[in-house]
Amino acid sequence: MQGGNQMRVRVLTIGLFLAIVVCLFIGDGISYAKLEDGLISAWTFDDGSVNDFAGENHGEIKGGVEVVDGKFEKGLSFDGKDGHVIIPHDKSMEVIADGYSVSAWFLPRAITTGEGIVTKGEGSGWGIKYAFKITIDWWGVSNKTVEGYFNTSGALKEKPNKWVFACLTADGKQAVGYSAGENDKVEIRPNGRGNPHIIAGPYLIEADFPIEIGVARLQGGNVDAFVDGIIDEVYLWDRALTEEEVGLLAQGERPNFPRPVELAGKLSTLWGTIKNQ
């Protein structure tokens, strides 16, 4: 009888642990505007990996990339020579044809021009070869007939060694480039090519190209431009965020999903407590 009671207690303990794990996965994180709605992928780098913590689009580090302190927990430092991240194309990304948002935090060091923060495709100003890009100078969205490139008048390179937030949205009618310095309000900085930039969907998905972080391919027609700086919190949505939502991200809000570092700590503490009961 005693052995049976011990077994029942053990089963109940494990069941309780698993139930709490489920609750942690559902409820971990903070969100005031349901920023996770439509979230395809989240590359937070918090655990030092390039895993996708909102989906299955895991990446691979190439070249000179180091894990360092980021805007939130950990980020990736790119050496400006060959460091970058490759995230293979997946069918889950193809919904961007109807509209999307991509965002990142970026801390620039040495700056020239055109270095890629987040891109999919190649070229800028040299033909329709990319789905989207956020670079130091040029941003862009393309459809089958139009290369919709524009810039944000230097918004991402005015403050070296300071964090800046960038978000590109496309809603089927226009693309918008949002930027904000750390603790600054979001702005839509105008330029001669228009920001917002009128470009209709459906947008290119460029299935032959991966999403890349830290490099712009064939920038200016023939140069692979690698970032010298730190990138953190790269997100991809299947919808155009509102200006209010972009503002929340720039203020430090994050989509609500399990964070690997926070979750690991909670589970370790919880399991230790349960085992000692």
Q: What is the pLDDT, as a whole number, of residue 90?
A: 98
Is the CB of residue 179 less than 8 Å from the CB of residue 195? no
Q: What is the pLDDT, as a whole number, of residue 229?
A: 97
Which pTM does this prediction carry? Answer: 0.83
Q: What is the pLDDT, as a whole number, of residue 8?
A: 54
142-198 pLDDT, tens digit per residue, is 999 999 999 998 899 988 999 999 999 999 999 999 999 987 899 999 988 999 999
Computed over every residue of the chain, the mean pLDDT equals 85
Bridge partners (DSSP) of residue 236 are 41, 102
CATH code for the domain defined by 32-255: 2.60.120.200
Secondary structure element (H or E) that encloses residue 31, with its range: none
Residue found by looking up tokens 């670079």 in the block:
135
Q: Is the peptide bond between 196 and the residue preceding it cis, with omega within 30 degrees of 0?
A: yes
Q: Catalogue the E-assigned strands of the chain.
A: 39-43, 60-62, 65-69, 74-79, 84-87, 100-108, 116-121, 130-135, 138-142, 147-151, 164-170, 174-181, 197-198, 211-213, 215-219, 223-226, 228-237
User: What is the rounded radius of gyration, in angstroms, for the C-alpha atoms of the chain?
Assistant: 21
